[in-house]
Structure 1
Amino acid sequence: MGDLESNEGFAALVEPHRRELLAHCYRMLGSVQDAEDMVQETFLRAWRAQDGFEGRASLRTWLYRIATNVCLTALASSPRRPLPTGLGQPPSDPTGQLESRPELPWLEPLPDELVWGRHEPAPDEEVVSRESVRLAFVAALQHLTAQQRAVLILRDVLAWSAVEVAAALDLSVAAANSSLQRARAHLASVRAGRAERGSDPVAGGGLVAEFARAFESYDVARIAELLTADAVWEMPPFTGWYSGSAEIARLIETQCPASGPGDIRMVRTAANGQPVLALYMRGDDGVHRAFQLQQLTVRDGRVAHVACYFDTALFDAFGLPAVLPPAGSADLLLRHEAGAERGVLAQPG
């Protein structure tokens, strides 16, 4: 077994696969915390089973097989993680009462830094494509059964053969192929039902910065201008979702606790290969505290979809503080300047 026989040797062999396994478990589960837990469980099971690793498959393939089955076990007792648009109800009234369901397991964003680190990899080094973890794709996966999800990811994302998938999941090849067909058909119907259109592969930094400035100025009219006419806004754990730039503007005017410029400060980061704006809201004491994360989908030079996450525990997953230091001071937020136009945006003086 060579290096697998020592703790240090085992860790040295499996650790390079951590990021891609995290992305794989996230696709399966839709949760950052759960994905991290499943990667740890994968390494633990691999360590315990190393004597049975005969080298007929690559170490990478072996780890993926373990990770997939670990996730399938977890999914047996865990419901799917939707976004509000996945609950099946029509758009909500932006002036109506907000219904919150914090007890439901909601789909979460995947911080880019956990998958790609702070530096952009060369194309031939990027083992996890951004398209494979796009929010719309992971949200659509939530409509599949656990087995369909596993088969589709192994076949269409990892490009495994039907024989490899059948062996990994203890299925016949015919059963694996049938599950794949059903998964593809269901995924196509979900996407068609949402009239899904492709997002810009790299969202324009200028647009994201302007969107942040509009919020920091609390310029609702400008926010509406930066949205597509058919934009969608959703914000778990609130169950409602909102369609159209005019309706979203009414939502912000009616429900947002900000009252004017300076109440909001924004910090840019990224998740699922998409821009994210961390919104901090000023309290009565003048302190800006974590309020929500806005994940943006950009299309045709406008913001086409915003997923707002009100679970402020997610700020920790992004390495973001719960409280911002006074505007204009030197602070640690600049560590998020890890790519094109990432970092602190338009901090008001």
Structure 2
Amino acid sequence: MDFEPYRGELVAYCYRLTGSYADAEDLVQETMLRAWRAREGYDRTRASVRTWLYRIATNVCLTALEGRARRPLPSGLGAPSHDPGAPLTPAFDIPWLEPFPDARFDVAARADLRLALVAAMQVLPARQRAVLVLREVLEFSTAEVAAQLGTTVPAVNSALQRARAALAGEGDVSEVTEPDDPEARAVIQRYVRAFEAADVPALVRLLTEDAVLEMPPVPLWYRGSRDYGLFMERVFAMRGTAWGARHLTANGQPAHLECLAAEWVGPAVLTRYARAAR
């Protein structure tokens, strides 16, 4: 029995539930191990291999999430900062929401991996999160989801309604731009050129007025092009202007990694531009 064809979509599923790419890989490995051990008892007449694997993955994820704090972005912790000179003190005790590196897996439903949606889902209890993803993203039937969660159809419908209501309170997370969209790519190219030139006015002109700048593990965040510009002036003053950029996509959106001299900046910057650069 070959489970490998399902690995990519299972990693994406576990990532949606946990908000951690590293955890998702580990949980899928545990899922595969449990499936292999239970393969002799698998009944093809009751569920497809895919449905069976999702049931195992769901149980693995829900067990892992018991007692864990949700994974936020800085904007999920409080109001934005208005002090571009505030100390940049990392908070390593917070389990930050991590970006999903698109290059690692060929995941078809990129829009449903977008960072704003995954961040919004973190406000949901784990079982509601699972119901929402299984029903509305993966399009399993209500009966299939009830079987995967070991519950009833009315309980699934109730959980889905509560999840929808909670997400509605998180604002509009539906907007998404495909990374290969010509207009989006042109904007990103102009943004990168402005960044490498340390041209803050050009950077500010490319952002919407409500752009969000986030930098996990630093818990500060900024809203609006004005505060973004003031913060970037500080960055270039502190770290110099010899920056480069590497193009990629994250969570199905255009993104890039920044480089100062020979030192590549890590996933925190990836998170920032998955939300801010558009």
**TM over 0.5, shorter chain:** yes
In the alignment, what sits opposite 1:289? 263
Q: What amino acid is aligned across from residue 246 of structure 2 in structure 1?
A: V
8 Å contact 2:62–2:126 — kept in the other structure?
yes
C-alpha distance in 2, partners of 1:114/1:77? 29
Instruction: Give the 4+ runs in structure 1 shifted more than 6 A.
Output: none
8 Å contact 1:281–1:290 — kept in the other structure?
yes
Task: Flag the structure with more relative contact order, 1 or 2, with Cα contacts below 8 A and sequence separation at least 6.
Answer: 2
In the alignment, what sits opposite 1:264? 243
In the alignment, what sits opposite 1:224? 204
In the alignment, what sits opposite 2:167? 187
1:278 is matched with which residue: 254, 257, 260? 257
In the alignment, what sits opposite 1:199? 176
In the alignment, what sits opposite 2:136? 156
Higher helix share: 2
C-alpha distance in 1, partners of 2:99/2:51? 26
Q: Secondary structure at the match of 2:3?
A: helix
The offset of 1:171, in angstroms, is 1.2
C-alpha distance in 2, partners of 1:92/1:181? 37
The offset of 1:158, in angstroms, is 1.0
8 Å contact 1:148–1:182 — kept in the other structure?
yes
The offset of 1:229, in angstroms, is 1.6
- Residue deviations 1:46-72 (CA, integer Å, cap 9, x gap): 011111101121101111111111111
In the alignment, what sits opposite 2:87? 97
1:23 aligned onto 2:12? yes
Q: What amino acid is aligned across from residue 9 of structure 2 in structure 1?
A: E
The offset of 1:33, in angstroms, is 0.7
1:172 aligned onto 2:148? no
8 Å contact 1:218–1:258 — kept in the other structure?
no
8 Å contact 2:146–2:152 — kept in the other structure?
yes
2:38 is matched with which residue: 38, 49, 52? 49
C-alpha distance in 2, partners of 1:181/1:236? 32
In the alignment, what sits opposite 1:144? 124
The offset of 1:197, in angstroms, is 6.0
Q: Secondary structure at the match of 1:60?
A: helix
C-alpha distance in 2, partners of 1:88/1:211? 28
C-alpha distance in 2, partners of 1:16/1:32? 19
CA RMSD of superposed structures (Å): 1.8
C-alpha distance in 2, partners of 1:77/1:37? 18
1:252 aligned onto 2:241? no
Q: What amino acid is aligned across from residue 112 of structure 1 in structure 2?
A: D
Q: What amino acid is aligned across from residue 98 of structure 2 in structure 1?
A: E
Higher strand share: 1
8 Å contact 1:232–1:243 — kept in the other structure?
yes
In the alignment, what sits opposite 1:330? none
Q: Secondary structure at the match of 2:170?
A: helix
Q: What amino acid is aligned across from residue 139 of structure 1 in structure 2?
A: A
C-alpha distance in 2, partners of 1:230/1:190? 16
The offset of 1:191, in angstroms, is 2.0
C-alpha distance in 1, partners of 2:126/2:108? 21
Count of aligned pairs? 270
Question: Scaled by the length of structure 1, what TM-score is found?
Answer: 0.73
8 Å contact 2:72–2:122 — kept in the other structure?
yes
Q: Secondary structure at the match of 1:159?
A: coil
1:234 aligned onto 2:210? no
The offset of 1:97, in angstroms, is 2.3
Q: What amino acid is aligned across from residue 103 of structure 2 in structure 1?
A: E
- Residue deviations 1:256-307 (CA, integer Å, cap 9, x gap): 43323xx11111111111112111112xxxxx1012433535xxxxxx7259
Which runs of 5 or more residues in structure 1 are unaligned?
A: 1-9, 117-126, 283-287, 298-303, 308-349
Q: What amino acid is aligned across from residue 34 of structure 2 in structure 1?
A: R
The offset of 1:233, in angstroms, is 0.7
1:40 is matched with which residue: 29, 37, 42? 29
Question: Scaled by the length of structure 2, what TM-score is found?
Answer: 0.91
What percentage of residue pairs aligned between the two structures are identical? 47
Q: Structure 1 stretch 141-150 or stretch 79-88: which is displaced more?
A: 79-88
The offset of 1:200, in angstroms, is 2.3
8 Å contact 2:188–2:277 — kept in the other structure?
no
C-alpha distance in 1, partners of 2:244/2:276? 20
Which runs of 5 or more residues in structure 2 are unaligned?
A: none
